[in-house]
Amino acid sequence: MFEKQSEDGYKLVLNGIEQKTLVYGKSTLMTEFRLQKGAMLPLHSHPHEQTGYLVNGHIRLTVGADTYEVLPGDSWCIPGNETHCAEIVTDSIAIEVFSPVREDYLP
């Protein structure tokens, strides 16, 4: 699968958080998140392993009992079923890969 850059396809998933699936295959799905300053991703978990990279901005990511100040160029991997949440400190863009594929993120 190959996808050209486009401004189309972003979906509002929470107040201040937009998501767009970029590409996906049999085992992984890659998505872009546009995150607005002040937005909150509430504490949650899911069975998917989640690997991410902060393109720009600043987020405060809590995984289990640990909290991280995430800045551009930082990356993370959250095991499946691990509780996590995020506070968006400044407008940010993050790229994340989920395995297995998140059916709810398929276009």
Largest Cα separation within the chain, whole Å, is 38
The pLDDT tens digits of the residues spanning 63-75 come to 999 999 999 999 9
Whether residue 81 has pLDDT greater than 90: yes
Give the C-alpha separation, 17 to 39, whole Å: 7
Residue 80 CB neighbour total at 10 angstroms: 13
Give the C-alpha separation, 99 to 15, whole Å: 25
Global pTM reads: 0.93
Does domain 12-101 match CATH 2.60.40.10?
Answer: no
User: Region 17-29: what's the mean pLDDT?
Assistant: 97
- The answer to whether 60 and 86 have CB atoms below 8 angstroms apart is yes
The residue whose two tokens read 């998501």 is 19
Predicted pLDDT at 61: 98
The pLDDT tens digits of the residues spanning 27-42 come to 999 999 999 999 999 9
